[in-house]
């Protein structure tokens, strides 16, 4: 049995941030090469601290869904997963046994040599004449691999230079240049550098966003996919502007290559993780009788299960939107009824107006999406196997812009927690609260919180910054 975990950044504010990881997980799941594909996030749920506990097997491969190496892939993710490693990740990745699971952590997908193929695939979308040996129409064509670039992270530019060198060797283009948005050589100087009459620009960015949609076209004067420049130092030129590499479906192939390389010669995989399976069997036993789990009502019906918001109990099924897949449930519960993003799923804001009819396997996945890690953590709590992490430990672990939460005094943390956690179903074990009965014992809202979530950490950081600003004024 084998589990694959894709780690995305996620966001407390933007509900679209997690979509890329979801999409790649779906593509890889459809290939059937792993028994399960799970997503985990820095700023959403399941969080990096929780995600390993949500995997069903003892053989886990973790891939950071980042475009280059840096602070997150070398510091934050290894630290939060408990890999006992900080700093550059070797090409063969890192393997550790954590809580009975063999965990292999790889380099981010963006540094894999296979990304050169993704760049070519993006170039071909805007230049269909690009054949296997170069442009079929014989027009000299230059490629610009465009990176963000930042003087703070030389890794982010290294990957651009490496891909440019690989593609130069292939000889598909008459020129290949590595240019940047925020460092030299800058893409704004392309016309002085590029001699070919046709130029393809492929942004080596993780996602479509402000830079790819606005700043790059504006700074370069692009008017669409193809923009003519009649008067440049090298005569008339035409720029073809591609979409970012990170959103191309071929990235799924790169991820699979990374996963296979991390496993070396492979092997039979791991076993079913016993604690995980016991947790879900406990949940299913409850579900077969009918149960309330937080705001969710689970009803067994002729061999399948119906789930809906408990506030919709008694409403005719025809009045509700009927969902039939775990992914349908995931996309519904990610937003409140008012359309607001829900980075913390146990906040009491589960949307209404829907029901899902699912078989037992899909029920598990749908509940995972609705309340990530809750079944596993609640079961572990009942077995006295969920160790709370006090606030001081969580705060000490924070680095970068979050290190300032270490300056928060207990009263500040409590004030913020009273506001944020009051809306949450979970009981703050990390603050010394006690949970005597859980939803597995028939108390719907009984769910443990073993450690302050990143949402609360971010709110405490805001509080510290506000206090400092108030003291200075």
Closer Cβ to ligand SF4, 239 or 449, answer by number: 449
Size of the site for ligand SF4 (CB under 6 A): 12
| Residue 60 is a binding residue for ligand SF4 (CB under 6 A) | no
Site stretch for ligand SF4 (CB under 6 A), options 14-22, 111-119, 372-380, 447-455: 447-455
Element (H, E) at 381: helix 374-382
Q: What b/e string do you get for 436-459 counting C-beta neighbours within 10 Å, with b at 16 or more?
A: eebbbeeebbbbbbbbbbbbbbbb
Residues 345-364 that bind ligand SF4 (CB under 6 A): 346
Phi, psi (5° rounding) for residue 240?
A: -105, 120
Site track for ligand SF4 across 297-336, x = CB under 6 A = ----------------------------------------
Site stretch for ligand SF4 (CB under 6 A), options 105-113, 139-147, 392-400, 451-459: 451-459
| Residue 344 is a binding residue for ligand SF4 (CB under 6 A) | yes
Q: How far is the CB of 102 from ligand SF4 (least distance, A)?
A: 28
Site track for ligand SF4 across 191-210, x = CB under 6 A = --------------------
Site stretch for ligand SF4 (CB under 6 A), options 81-89, 350-358, 378-386, 446-454: 446-454
Closer Cβ to ligand SF4, 272 or 393, answer by number: 393
Closer Cβ to ligand SF4, 120 or 453, answer by number: 453
Q: How far is the CB of 456 from ligand SF4 (least distance, A)?
A: 4
DSSP 429: G
> Cα(464)–Cα(311) distance, rounded to whole angstroms?
37
Closer Cβ to ligand SF4, 216 or 452, answer by number: 452
Q: How far is the CB of 455 from ligand SF4 (least distance, A)?
A: 6
Q: How far is the CB of 152 from ligand SF4 (least distance, A)?
A: 30
Q: What is the β-pairing status of strands 134-135 and 130-131? A: antiparallel
> Cα(130)–Cα(334) distance, rounded to whole angstroms?
40
CB 130 within 8 A of CB 123: yes
Quick one: which of 267, 292, 325 has its CA closest to 442? Answer: 292
| Residue 420 is a binding residue for ligand SF4 (CB under 6 A) | yes
DSSP 139: -
Closer Cβ to ligand SF4, 50 or 163, answer by number: 50
Residues in the chain: 473
What three-state secondary structure class fits 177?
Answer: strand
Q: How far is the CB of 467 from ligand SF4 (least distance, A)?
A: 20
What is the torsional sign of CA 259, 264, 267, 270?
A: negative
Site stretch for ligand SF4 (CB under 6 A), options 240-248, 264-272, 281-289, 448-456: 448-456
Residues 258-277 that bind ligand SF4 (CB under 6 A): none
CB 18 within 8 A of CB 44: yes
CB 63 within 8 A of CB 255: yes
Q: What is the β-pairing status of strands 59-64 and 101-105? A: parallel
Site track for ligand SF4 across 422-441, x = CB under 6 A = --x-x-x-------------
Structure tokens at 287: 């579900």
Q: How far is the CB of 289 from ligand SF4 (least distance, A)?
A: 27
Structure tokens at 319: 């009045």
Q: How far is the CB of 428 from ligand SF4 (least distance, A)?
A: 5
What three-state secondary structure class fits 62?
Answer: strand
What is the torsional sign of CA 165, 169, 171, 174?
A: positive
Structure tokens at 43: 């700023």
| Residue 449 is a binding residue for ligand SF4 (CB under 6 A) | yes
- Site for ligand SF4 (CB under 6 A): which residue of 452, 458, 460, 464? 452
How distant, in Å, are the alpha carbons of 100, 112, 157, 274, 406 from that of 106?
19, 10, 20, 25, 30
Closer Cβ to ligand SF4, 288 or 348, answer by number: 348
Residues at the site binding ligand SF4, with contacts judged by CB under 6 A: 344, 346, 420-421, 424, 426, 428, 449, 452-453, 455-456
């Amino acid at each position: 049995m084998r589990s694959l975990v894709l780690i995305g950044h996620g966001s407390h504010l933007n509900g679209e941030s997690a979509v890329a990881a979801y999409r790649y997980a779906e593509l890889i799941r459809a290939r059937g090469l792993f028994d399960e594909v799970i997503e985990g996030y820095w700023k959403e749920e399941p969080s990096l601290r929780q995600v390993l506990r949500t995997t069903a097997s003892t053989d886990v491969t973790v891939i950071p869904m980042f475009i280059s190496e840096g602070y997150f892939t070398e510091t934050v993710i290894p630290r939060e997963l408990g890999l006992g490693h900080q700093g550059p990740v070797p090409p063969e990745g890192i393997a550790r046994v954590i809580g009975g699971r063999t965990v292999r952590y790889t380099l981010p997908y963006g540094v894999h040599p296979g990304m050169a193929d993704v760049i070519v695939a993006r170039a071909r979308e805007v230049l269909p004449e690009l054949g296997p040996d170069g442009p079929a129409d014989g027009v000299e064509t230059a490629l610009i691999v465009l990176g963000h670039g930042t003087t703070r992270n030389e890794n982010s530019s290294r990957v651009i230079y490496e891909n440019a060198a690989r593609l130069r060797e292939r000889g598909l283009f008459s020129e290949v240049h590595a240019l940047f948005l925020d460092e030299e050589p800058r893409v704004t100087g392309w016309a002085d550098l590029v001699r070919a009459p046709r130029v393809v620009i492929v942004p080596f960015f993780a996602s479509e966003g402000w830079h790819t949609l606005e700043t790059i076209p504006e700074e370069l004067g692009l008017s669409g996919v193809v923009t003519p420049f009649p008067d440049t130092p090298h005569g008339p030129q035409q720029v073809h502007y591609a979409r970012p590499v990170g959103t191309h479906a071929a990235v799924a192939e790169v991820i699979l290559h990374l996963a296979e390389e991390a496993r070396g010669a492979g092997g039979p995989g791991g076993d079913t993780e016993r604690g995980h399976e016991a947790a879900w069997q406990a949940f299913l036993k409850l579900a077969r009788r009918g149960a309330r789990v937080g705001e969710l009502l689970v009803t067994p019906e002729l061999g399948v299960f119906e789930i809906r918001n408990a506030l919709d109990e008694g409403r005719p099924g025809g009045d509700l939107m009927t969902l039939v897949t775990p992914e349908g449930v995931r996309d519904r519960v990610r937003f409140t009824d008012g359309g607001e993003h829900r980075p913390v799923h146990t906040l009491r804001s589960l949307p209404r107006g829907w029901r899902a009819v699912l078989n037992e396997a899909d029920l598990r996945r749908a509940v995972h999406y609705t309340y990530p890690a809750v079944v596993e953590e609640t079961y572990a709590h009942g077995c006295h196997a969920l160790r709370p992490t006090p606030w001081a430990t969580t705060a000490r672990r924070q680095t970068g812009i979050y290190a300032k939460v270490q300056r928060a005094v207990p009263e500040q943390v409590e004030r913020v927690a009273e506001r944020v956690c009051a809306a949450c179903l979970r009981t703050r074990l990390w603050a010394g609260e006690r949970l005597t009965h859980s939803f597995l014992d028939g108390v719907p809202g009984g769910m443990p919180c073993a450690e302050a979530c990143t949402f609360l950490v971010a709110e405490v950081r805001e509080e510290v910054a506000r206090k400092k600003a108030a003291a200075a004024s």
